[in-house]
Amino acid sequence: MRICVIGCGYVGLVTGACFAEIGHEVVCTDNDGQKITTLNDGGLPIYEPHLDEIVRQNVAEKRLSFSVNLAEAIRFGDAVFICVGTPPLPNGEADLSAIDNVARLIAVESRSPKLVVEKSTVPTQTGQHVKRALSIYGRKSGVEFTVASNPEFLREGTAVLDFLHPDRIVVGVDDRGSEEQLREVYRPITEQRFRCRVHNDSCPAQKPHFLVTSINSAELIKHACNSFLAVKISYANMVADMCEKLGADIDEVTQALGLDPRIGRHFLSPGLGFGGFCLPKDIQAFIRLGERAGVDVSLLKSAEAINKQRIESFCNKARQLLWVLKDKRIAVLGLAFKPNTDDIRFAPAIDLINRLLVEGAQIQAYDPEAMGKASAVLPSVRYCHDAYELTDGTDALIIATEWPEFKNLDWSSIRDRMLRPLVLDGRNLLDAAAMKALGFEYHSVGRETREGKTNEQPERTVHSREV
Ligand code: NAD
């Protein structure tokens, strides 16, 4: 099939590259000309594991191309996937101006029938507005449009594998033809009929569910899903606070909770809270949507409030331990909102650093992938080449992102480099007993720190920010 993807960000680029990977002809376009130039020069505007290889291969095999010309790209596709951003407005509602712009452009520029697919996360009933815009602005051309919603569930850091091996594909349609077209688009994935060049053991063996719903339901499913995950993380954080105050251990508690199949072990990791371009804005948008509809959304509001409080209470901990923050040299390990991405949008690390800077702390930071993006928003931070340079002469180290490689650092060397071997682990990444045995003052979230604790660390395979 010939597919146009509008928006070459974390979702659009992965969507375009993966559609090409499963055999479709794809043109990706974006109104940010710099991104298209970077892509046409063989670079990538984002870091995402495996994306580099599948983009390169599919460009070489002539199934994937990038165009600055939005109109041409739209005319190329039988299906047009909208993957533009839907950031939060100051009042928390989703900013739908990019969706509106793109819908009007598709209406005006199309010359043949199009299936227009919303992949961006949008509030319920957006599809009805898109339909109306297509019919109003497309009336001169007489082109026939159909609209579908196909929310995306990929997680940054594992986006390519998530896209190629999803657990479910949701399509919201109002007509049989759109359903058939989307079944065709996804058939190689639903029937596992393509050779996955990036396959690894984490890819599920079973075929994904293909769920056909109304457009309104498909839109609501995505917000309901992300809001549920946000509630679950905030619940774990609330329980962690209880553990800390009452002398229990959150790792022990969440291990037992997670073994209950009605609860499940995912998204129970406490810490600095959820961030990124999905959960914070999606729960906000869902709250506003519910309020407008007259629904009691206090459950969601509490989850959001708990999350906002995480950074403040972590700063309080830092203040208690360091007494005065002004002129203290603090190392921050991890900037991205989660491991394996360079995305710093709504990253707790960025919020935390801003607060510490306001109090006069001197911040130095290291992240394997996110320093480029962070330096644009935090120019006064000193960026280091590695975790060892990072910790030289510092008064404290804060772990803000749980990159797995941080576990395997030479922590004895880090202890010797620090002025004061104080570690505040905002992600419960390290083993508390081992850190204490090494001579660190080690503080984490909701974990009991009694001496001689012998329980093994529960396996932590999925972290709370994995969206
Ligand atoms: P992004 O900011 O990385 O990418 C959006 C792209 O759209 C940008 O490259 C931007 O230049 C382009 N764009 C904006 N307005 C445009 C216009 N009028 N015409 C053409 N291009 C335009 O955002 P993202 O992370 O890819 O998210 C996109 C959507 O997908 C959002 O609605 C988001 O909520 C949703 N989503 C994101 C994720 C994720 O993990 N990032 C996962 C699932 C769903």
| Best residue among 35, 39, 83, 89 to mutate for probing ligand 1, ranked by most atoms within 8 Å of CB | 83
Q: Are 335 and 350 in contact (CB under 8 A)?
A: yes
How does pLDDT run across 17-52, given as a tens digit for each residue? Answer: 999 999 999 999 999 999 999 999 999 999 999 999
Q: What is the per-residue pLDDT for 197? A: 87
Residue 270 CA to residue 236 CA, distance in Å, equals 6
- Which element (helix H / strand E) includes 25? strand 25-29
277 Cβ below 6 A of ligand 1: yes
* Residue written as token pair 């809001």: 227
Nearest to 86 by CA among 10, 18, 160: 10
Q: Are 267 and 464 in contact (CB under 8 A)?
A: yes
Residue 344 CA to residue 336 CA, distance in Å, equals 5
Ligand 1 center to 241 CA (angstroms): 35
* Residue written as token pair 């506003």: 288
Query: Coil, helix or strand for 247?
Result: coil
Residue 216 CA to residue 199 CA, distance in Å, equals 34
Nearest to 289 by CA among 54, 116, 122: 122
Residue 337 CA to residue 343 CA, distance in Å, equals 6
In sequence order, which ranges of 191-249 are alpha helices (DSSP H)? 215-246
Atom of ligand 1 nearest to the CA of 13: 26
152 Cβ below 6 A of ligand 1: yes
CATH class of the domain at 2-213: alpha beta
* Residue written as token pair 């320093």: 371
Residue nearest to atom 27 of ligand 1 (CA): 85
Q: Are 374 and 383 in contact (CB under 8 A)?
A: yes
Q: Given 4, 8, 83, 278, which residue is catalytic?
A: 278
Angle at 128 between CA 125 and CA 129, to 5 degrees: 95
Span(s) in the chain for CATH 3.40.50.720: 2-213, 249-443
Residue nearest to atom 18 of ligand 1 (CA): 98
How does pLDDT run across 299-354, given as a tens digit for each residue? Answer: 999 999 999 999 999 999 999 999 999 999 999 999 999 999 999 999 999 999 99
Atom of ligand 1 nearest to the CA of 7: 7
Averaged pLDDT score across all residues of the chain: 95
pTM of the model: 0.94
- 8 in catalytic set: no
Q: What tokens were used for 392?
A: 């030289």
Q: What is the pLDDT averaged over residues 218-240?
A: 98
Q: What is the per-residue pLDDT for 461? A: 38
| Best residue among 4, 5, 10 to mutate for probing ligand 1, ranked by most atoms within 8 Å of CB | 10
How does pLDDT run across 162-213, given as a tens digit for each residue? Answer: 999 999 999 999 999 999 999 999 999 999 888 888 877 777 778 999 999 9
Ligand 1 center to 120 CA (angstroms): 7
344 Cβ below 6 A of ligand 1: no
63 Cβ below 6 A of ligand 1: no
* DSSP assignment of 83-97: ----PBPTTSSB--H
Fold of 249-443: Rossmann fold (3.40.50)
Ligand 1 center to 59 CA (angstroms): 21
Residue nearest to atom 43 of ligand 1 (CA): 152
163 Cβ below 6 A of ligand 1: no
Helical axes 97-109 vs 126-137, angle rounded to 10°: 30
Residue nearest to atom 10 of ligand 1 (CA): 7
Residue nearest to atom 25 of ligand 1 (CA): 10
Which residues contact residue 200 at a Cβ distance below 8 angstroms, ignoring those fewer than 6 apart? 161
